[in-house]
Amino acid sequence: MDAPLYRLEYLSLVGKIATEVENHVGINDRVLAEFIISLHDQSPSLKNFQSKLDEAGAEFGAAFVENLDRLIRTLHPKHKEHKEHDAQLQRMPGLAIRDRDWADASDYQDTPQEREAARRAARRRLDDDVDDMDSKVPCRPRRDSVSPRGRDREPPAHLQRDEQPIVGKVYRGRVSGVKDFGAFVTLDGVVGRQDGLVHVSAMRAGRVEHPSDIVSRGDQVSVKVVSVNGNRIALAMKDVDQVTGRDYAPQRSAQALTGANSAPLGVVEKDAPAQRRPKRLTSPERWELMQLIASGVAKASDYPELMDQELSTPATRAKGNDPDEEVEIEVHEKEAPFLKGQTAASLELSPVRVVKAPDGSMNRAAQAGASLAKERRELRQQELNEQADAEKRDTSTGWLDPMAQQGDRQFAQDLRGNTLGRRAQEQSEWKKQAFNKKTTFGKISTLSIQEQRKSLPIYKLRAQLIQAVRENQVLIVVGETGSGKTTQLTQYLAEEGFADRGKIGCTQPRRVAAMSVAKRVAEEVGSRVGQEIGYTVRFDDCTSAETRIKYMTDGMLQRECLVDRDVSAYTVIMLDEAHERTIATDVLFGLLKKALQRRPDLKLIVTSATLDAEKFSTYFFGCPIFTIPGRTFPVEIMYTKEPEPDYLDASLITVMQIHLSEPPGDILVFLTGQEEIDTSCEILYERMRALGPSVPELIILPVYSALPSEMQTRIFEPAPPGARKVVLATNIAETSVTIDGVFYVVDPGFVKQNAYDARLGMDSLVVTPISQAQARQRAGRAGRTGPGKCYRLYTEAAFRNEMLPNPIPDIQRQNLSSTILMLKAMGINDLLHFDFMDPPPAQTMLTALESLYALSALDDEGLLTRLGRKMADFPMDPPMAKMLITSVDLGCSEEVLSIAAMLSIQNVFYRPKDKQAQADAKRAKFFQPEGDHLTLLTVYNAWVSNNFSMPWCVDNFIQGRALRRAQDVRKQLLGIMDRYHHDIISCGRNYNRIRRAICAGYFRNAAKKDPHEGYRSLAEGGGNVYLHPSSSLFNRPSEYVVYHEVVMTTKEYMREVTAIEPKWLLEVAPRFFRSADSANISKRKRQEKIKPLFNKYATDPDEWRISKQRAKAIWTNDQKF
């Protein structure tokens, strides 16, 4: 609770107690009231409170003391906080499950016997599979695979064992494994080791949500052999009494169904005869046959299909035998047992508001966008189209020049695109001024490396800083960007001996920063990267046993906590750029706070570039704050009188006014993204050129993250005499970059940030108003060199009423599925009591728990399953980890590994504007009818078969560097698979297995073709999504698809789409989907509206309805009579 509000409520309580005491004894003394409250705080019970009052000489009766106790417990803000927390705990117990002791990953691994049983089952499925090419691809064992387990010992002589399982006989057995689709049981009364499958439908009469509800690994069960087909044994439990072993239905020979047509999941019957669907007779054919039978020419017995169709009804027709039957599925509305009644309650909670005033002037301007940028973009595209259309050439021929060399050939239809590409690649005039041959990059310095180190502001404070680290376990360091915190502090600690007993770790919020800083420090130390100085980022570890200083992303340190919660490899950990508050940084706050209590020798340094570090100090036990002093000057703040409808146009007008009327000094403008900055640079250049040479020169310089990491020299160097520079930057210039010489700041008040919608389950990048803290930080940029001015392009009322006090941390506005899975893997189940600096909203946490439960990463009690622990070890989202693990059971892990690696990179194809048709033709050669995931697999396999050739990539318009990156990712994933002893198995051409594995991980992203437009997401609250024109399914859409993610541009486009069968959703996600009840209309069908054809003669929009037609007929008949 905020301190001022806490104090206000406490003073209100003091006044209430003082009034009660005055009414009782006639003394009005607020000091006495505070003394009574303090006695109550020291008393654990009412009786103890009464005794303390008696000892103090108060002659209060028991009824009055009870009244005081009631008032204090009701009105004291401290008790209010506890009550609110207890109410939340009672309302959402699923978020407060008791923590478990930390367990090593090996505790969750399968035993060698279980791995051997799963390996045998996979081999049996593989051997029984017959693909389209009639070729079998053998299992490729791992290099360090466990040797095959031999046969069990022979049974004692007094025990009778069958050579083979007998169909219809009841055996005792032990559950060896539990899967989503059933349980594997090892039979006891059979010679050797015989494993059979009990499908989920054969476990118990009625619907079973999951096999783990009935059995668990190691249970003794009684099973009946239903069928034996080669090495595959189908078992049933529902016909057998589990206590006595009595067979309830000795004559029944039902088969255990695991998939379509009674086939187990991922298995194709080897010797099963091909079942043809009976041909349906058309209506004319039926009429002709009925006439022939009536005349005596034909016999009815010769045409059984006729009688079947005449007499069959939906009630009498066997399920699955109707050739026109449509599988209808719907989302399972049943909640997870540990979240029962909580998800509905969470919908009533108000989520964390990213925008303080949704109807305010600033949010309206953000939603409207920069109209000037839109007009500029449309005008430029129109000019390019007109120039391309002006060049008339014959495009009816195939090749423009058939005699040209292979690499120089061009499609004739690429002529227009060639012109567009040539115009688009022409450098703008402002870019020619900002980026030319004379331009150099990076800060030019004639000083040596050691002289540069000594020139940094932190160098003068080295002794005091080291002393502060020695005396305190936790230290907050606040300093300006460029003061040397990141590069120098770690070196000072290493030189003072802190790296002798362990490593010094430094986290960065971005991978590029971790790599570049490590290279800079290695250069200063005089070693190569990977030796004394190293870095670790996702899919790239550049460290060795000699490494003393290690830079890494905050996510990598979080993964190290998964293996070693005490981070025993480090003596000092430095959380750099902590003010950015990424999800991983916030989680590390809580994890390291516990580690500090367990390890008194561990040192923690938290650095921040902002001045509001008191919150960090309060969180870490009130630790001291070490401030590296910087120069600050007063800044004059100016607001607009009225809200600005177009913030971009207003920013440029303000820049022009400053340049023409204010004294010398550079200008810094804050914009939201690269497109806005490029457009603004172009408009500013044209407006300045229109003013003529009489006005002073204005040097236009952009700053955004897509630029090279070495910034231009002209950004940091002062402008030449008589000129002024204007820097247009994103929020990177708030804290990450310090530009000297800035006297004027133009702040439109907007930033682009990522926000997660828990109802839709989707992230989106949106433009939102900044916070008051960010506004103050931006204004402070004008006071680094001298007194400055800040032009805020919003009203003062908007600053006070429409801006949040502080920015919303990432953990409160982004998806938390991966974070919660990792916390569960560390044994942290009580999310309500976990020490978050800013707790995430309950709705987001409940949504993440539901998602993990649907993925079978959590059991019915909300605890981590063995599958969930394996998923936590993969450095990727939970759905992709589930897809990889499932691929092992389905016998397609070789292919799915390649697909997962390809999904981790950006678009592998490139499409130059001058060769668009040629690039599209090359890309179409890789298209697979099953979808985009298989297309990516085909690209990777083709690259491998061409010996990883880079010229081959150029010929096929494929980005070779992206494929190299995918190859590195695949190697790391292969190492994780080996750690869990997973076999790498190829399925050959059987792509159905791959599609099922994809469906097992991304079933939440399933969509069904909408009769009106695009696709309709099957998940609750899902809207319409669309196939992108670049998808391999664009011209041949499937009825059901799953997609990797949704990208919001002009529409909600699905990225990486694969066609699936709807029945697969029921098999791989029984917790999330279920078959729609034929007796009741599904929820999705209820939402569909009947839209009649347009009738221009209709006088009533409901005239087409049957009730209206009947009423009209009755009225007509009445008129006749």
pLDDT tens figures, 675-707 = 788 888 888 888 888 888 888 888 888 887 666
Per-residue pLDDT band for 155 (boundaries 50, 70, 90) equals very low
Least confident of 76-80, 402-406, 508-512, 931-935: 402-406
The whole-number pLDDT of residue 939 equals 92
Asked if 745 and 668 count as a contact pair (C-beta separation under 8 A), the reply is: yes
Task: Specify which residues 574 forms β-bridges with.
Answer: 506, 605
- Residue bearing the bigger pLDDT, 218 or 253: 218
The whole-number pLDDT of residue 605 equals 93
Least confident of 247-256, 317-326, 664-673, 930-939: 317-326
**Which residue's entry shows tokens 């941390």?**
809
The whole-number pLDDT of residue 941 equals 92
The C-alpha atoms of residue 1015 and residue 966 are separated, in whole angstroms, by 30
- Residue bearing the bigger pLDDT, 663 or 122: 663
* Percentage with pLDDT > 90 across the chain: 12
pLDDT for 428 beyond 80: no
Task: Annotate 1037-1064 with b (16+ C-beta within 10 A) or e (fewer).
Answer: ebebbbbbebeeeeebbbebbbbbbbbb
Burial class (CB in 10 A: 0-12, 13-18, 19+), 323: exposed
pLDDT for 263 beyond 60: no
pLDDT for 898 beyond 90: yes
The whole-number pLDDT of residue 998 equals 93
Asked if 18 and 28 count as a contact pair (C-beta separation under 8 A), the reply is: yes
What's the mean pLDDT in 1088-1099?
A: 67
- Residue bearing the bigger pLDDT, 357 or 910: 910
**Alpha carbon 643 to its chain's center:** 36
pLDDT for 260 beyond 50: no
The whole-number pLDDT of residue 435 equals 57
- Residue bearing the bigger pLDDT, 560 or 609: 560
Of 92, 131, 682, nearest to 347 (Cα)? 92
pLDDT in tens, 539-558: 778 888 889 999 999 889 98
For 381, how many CA atoms within 13 A lie in the half-sphere containing its CB? 6
Angle at Cα 724 formed by Cα 719 and Cα 726, nearest 5°?
100
The whole-number pLDDT of residue 506 equals 93
The whole-number pLDDT of residue 156 equals 39
**Alpha carbon 878 to its chain's center:** 9
Alpha helix segments (H runs only) across 891-1030: 893-903, 916-924, 932-945, 950-955, 960-979, 991-1001
Asked if 1032 and 928 count as a contact pair (C-beta separation under 8 A), the reply is: yes
Of 917, 1083, 986, 1070, nearest to 395 (Cα)? 917
The whole-number pLDDT of residue 476 equals 92
Which of 592-601, 738-747, 1008-1017: highest mean pLDDT?
592-601
* Phi and psi at residue 757, to the nearest 5°: -100, 110
Asked if 780 and 792 count as a contact pair (C-beta separation under 8 A), the reply is: no
Residue 897: count other Cβ atoms within 10 Å of its Cβ: 22
What's the mean pLDDT in 1014-1029?
A: 80
The C-alpha atoms of residue 115 and residue 232 are separated, in whole angstroms, by 18
> Which residues 6+ apart lie within 8 Å of 388 measured at CB?
416, 417, 419, 420, 423
The whole-number pLDDT of residue 961 equals 85
What's the mean pLDDT in 122-126?
A: 52
Per-residue pLDDT band for 646 (boundaries 50, 70, 90) equals confident
Amino acid at 6: Y
The whole-number pLDDT of residue 1080 equals 62
Mean of the per-residue pLDDT values of the chain: 76
The whole-number pLDDT of residue 126 equals 47
Token code pair at residue 649:
């146009």
- Residue bearing the bigger pLDDT, 700 or 7: 700
pLDDT for 1082 beyond 80: no
Asked if 603 and 854 count as a contact pair (C-beta separation under 8 A), the reply is: no
Token code pair at residue 118:
């799963």
pLDDT for 1067 beyond 70: yes
pLDDT in tens, 557-595: 988 888 888 898 999 999 988 888 888 889 999 999 989
Asked if 742 and 753 count as a contact pair (C-beta separation under 8 A), the reply is: no
Helix (H) or strand (E) holding 233, with range, is: strand 232-236
pLDDT for 790 beyond 90: yes
Per-residue pLDDT band for 838 (boundaries 50, 70, 90) equals confident
The C-alpha atoms of residue 53 and residue 66 are separated, in whole angstroms, by 12
- Residue bearing the bigger pLDDT, 275 or 262: 275
What's the mean pLDDT in 958-983?
A: 86
> Which residues 6+ apart lie within 8 Å of 749 measured at CB?
362, 647, 769, 770, 775, 792, 793, 794, 798, 803
Amino acid at 701: L
pLDDT in tens, 446-467: 677 787 788 788 888 889 999 9
The whole-number pLDDT of residue 373 equals 65
The C-alpha atoms of residue 359 and residue 803 are separated, in whole angstroms, by 12
pLDDT for 801 beyond 50: yes
pLDDT in tens, 44-57: 778 888 888 888 88
What's the mean pLDDT in 1-13?
A: 72
Per-residue pLDDT band for 181 (boundaries 50, 70, 90) equals confident
Sign of the torsion angle spanned by Cα atoms 936, 937, 938, 941: positive
- Residue bearing the bigger pLDDT, 79 or 586: 586
Strands 1006-1009, 1015-1017: pairing is antiparallel
The whole-number pLDDT of residue 474 equals 92
The superfamily in CATH containing domain 635-811 is: P-loop containing nucleotide triphosphate hydrolases (3.40.50.300)
pLDDT for 342 beyond 60: yes
What's the mean pLDDT in 463-473?
A: 91
Asked if 258 and 890 count as a contact pair (C-beta separation under 8 A), the reply is: no
The whole-number pLDDT of residue 921 equals 85
First and final C-alpha spacing in the chain = 80
**Which residue's entry shows tokens 């994103």?**
730
The whole-number pLDDT of residue 261 equals 32
The whole-number pLDDT of residue 388 equals 59
The C-alpha atoms of residue 715 and residue 850 are separated, in whole angstroms, by 49
The superfamily in CATH containing domain 449-627 is: P-loop containing nucleotide triphosphate hydrolases (3.40.50.300)
Helix (H) or strand (E) holding 1046, with range, is: strand 1040-1048
